[in-house]
Structure 1
């Protein structure tokens, strides 16, 4: 049984249909990458899993239990974390307050988990009393990931984690994601830097116009001439 299983997924926004029967699965501890051209439905897929897009067909299950009609608050409780590409921190709150917000469904903030996140992202520890709105783009991305990790999710959904970051910060972000994955958290990632993501990931899906185009192990996709030319920049 897969950790996350998506079958025949159809979804979109109101009358606009974006996904047309997408299949995807993620195993325990796996790092899966979704790539494809703009408008392929990559972000919509992740948003649908997290209850933020309109699901119109197909199934979504987590460890065999249906997630299809659950709201985001219930999905978080099931063990799924989500880091959106934009508007992913609370600017008026401090770094520490943002992280504690990640545990809002719990009776008490897990201080040991908070300490682990500060260890993973030392810059957040240094700036714990700084307003999130004053952080750089890379620091905001770290804060958003840290907040999503406060509930120790089984799988973390990442939407374009390297978007807008300087090259050195892109590498640092991927290193942090690799560490998170190595600790046992499965990763389902949409990423514009497709080649770098596939070099780190286990498997990949290429979406085109809301449909599966290619599905394979990451190294096989990297070695596929058609995939390289059309989706990886040659």
Structure 2
């Protein structure tokens, strides 16, 4: 390993993250997928998790959001421990999550999908929907259209928009470029960049590892459900061992 990429998966002492995962063990039923996983996201930071297929990347995100079987460790968000809590409770803490698959209500309109994203509010401020329309103008044009009739890229925008309806402090994205045409991938990454630039912390799992690491602040490489490397995205890109083993050279 070069001197650039680090195996230490935690922030330097004294640097607190808005999200801190420590020694997390989790899986599905009796199947343990994650072992002693550590991960941090600072306030306003853009962090990417990469690694081979089956490494447990999506399981980390699902575990933060309460969608797996908790087996040990801690997940702390904004100084509150949230491990082993239900997703409905975690949403109230300020975390938005966009899964890779089945992430829109196909039979509902675009606007109805956005309204569903704010279902925990007693009253839906119209400006919340307008904020999403300002980020994704195509959604305003398609407001009355059924979500299932949208293109793949438009559905991904809708899923992200719905997750942003509660103005979360942390937005978690699972493979946001999956299934998109190549010319739409860059546009999707650009939109994520702007969401982060506007102050929302981002934690993303992404198959397009090189592009994700090029854009993020820090990256984690996960292998067999365990931490392998953590460093700045550009440092991971430049590390010979990481590049040969996980980025295709």
Residue 135 of structure 2: which of 120, 124, 138 is its match? 120
* Aligned residues: CA RMSD: 0.6
Q: Which runs of 4+ in 1 moved over 6 A?
A: none
Q: TM-score, normalised by structure 2?
A: 0.93
Residue 171 of structure 1: which of 186, 191, 213 is its match? 186
Q: What does 1:45-194 align with in structure 2 at a 5 Å threshold?
A: 45-194=60-209
- 1:107 and 1:38 map into 2 onto residues whose CA distance is 41
Secondary structure of 1:43's counterpart equals helix
Bigger mean CA offset, 111-120 vs 204-213: 111-120
- 1:77 and 1:152 map into 2 onto residues whose CA distance is 11
Q: Which residue matches 2:26? A: 11
How far apart are 1:232 and its partner, in Å?
A: 1.2
How far apart are 1:69 and its partner, in Å?
A: 2.1
How far apart are 1:110 and its partner, in Å?
A: 2.1
How far apart are 1:25 and its partner, in Å?
A: 0.4
- 1:115 and 1:64 map into 2 onto residues whose CA distance is 31
Cα deviations by residue, 1:62-95 (Å, 9 ceiling, x for unpaired): 1121001211011000000000000000000000
- 1:41 and 1:172 map into 2 onto residues whose CA distance is 27
Q: TM-score, normalised by structure 1?
A: 0.99
Unaligned segments of structure 2, at least 5 residues: 1-15
Q: Give the count of matched residue pairs.
A: 234
CA contact (8 A) 1:110 1:150 kept: no
CA contact (8 A) 1:4 1:26 kept: yes
